[in-house]
Amino acid sequence: MKKDIIIPAVTDIKLALVQEYNEDFKTYDWNAYLINEKAVAIEMVIIVTHGFSKKQKTATMRHKIAKLPAHAVAKIEFIQENVLKLNNSFKVSFFLENRLFEKNFLIKKNTIKPHFASELSLFNGKKGFVFD
């Protein structure tokens, strides 16, 4: 029975963590973005995020994007610096051509460091990380 279930592979959907200057607080903050590199829009996007380790767990956050156009970017959430000390899970589900797709992104603890960040042309040269 399980062998009959077809789970389509997700391509051209990426996650970016971008370090951006916050004018209000005069700090550099990390923000998560969803990138749709597809030539078509995706719809009813649900993103479930949480941070975790063996001893700690953050609250689960849920975000909805009604429609993410082709070749577009949408901000998901601000990520506090202390949450980057945990593993961070981003589960993305969406509809494309009346089919449900799901992709999981796992950012391992202590891997997001400003000195390892690269300039991201999609974000006007701001530094960050992109995950497939």
**Residue 24 belongs to some domain of the structure:** yes
Question: Among 14-18, 62-66, 81-85, which is the least confidently predicted range?
Answer: 81-85
Per-residue model confidence as pLDDT tens digits over 34-43:
999 999 999 9
**Residue 116 belongs to some domain of the structure:** no
How many domains does the chain divide into? Answer: 1
**Residue 54 belongs to some domain of the structure:** yes
Work out the angle at residue 33's Cα, subtended by the Cα atoms of residues 31 and 118, and round it to the nearest 5 degrees: 70
**Residue 122 belongs to some domain of the structure:** no
Which domain range does residue 13 map to?
A: 8-111
The percentage of residues in the chain with a pLDDT greater than 70, rounded to a whole number, is: 95
Per-residue model confidence as pLDDT tens digits over 73-127:
999 999 999 999 999 999 999 999 989 999 999 999 999 999 999 999 999 999 9
Q: What is the pLDDT of residue 9?
A: 87
pTM exceeding 0.85:
yes
**Residue 101 belongs to some domain of the structure:** yes
**Residue 128 belongs to some domain of the structure:** no
Write out the DSSP string of 20-57. Answer: EEETTTTEEEEEEEEEE-SSS-EEEEEEEEEEE-SS-B
Mean pLDDT of the chain: 94
**Residue 117 belongs to some domain of the structure:** no
Residue 25 CB coordination number (10 Å)? 8
Q: What is the pLDDT of residue 119?
A: 97
- The yes-or-no verdict on residue 4 having pLDDT over 70 is no
CATH number of the domain that residue 61 is part of: 2.60.40.10
**Residue 53 belongs to some domain of the structure:** yes
Question: Among 1-5, 64-68, 95-99, which is the least confidently predicted range?
Answer: 1-5
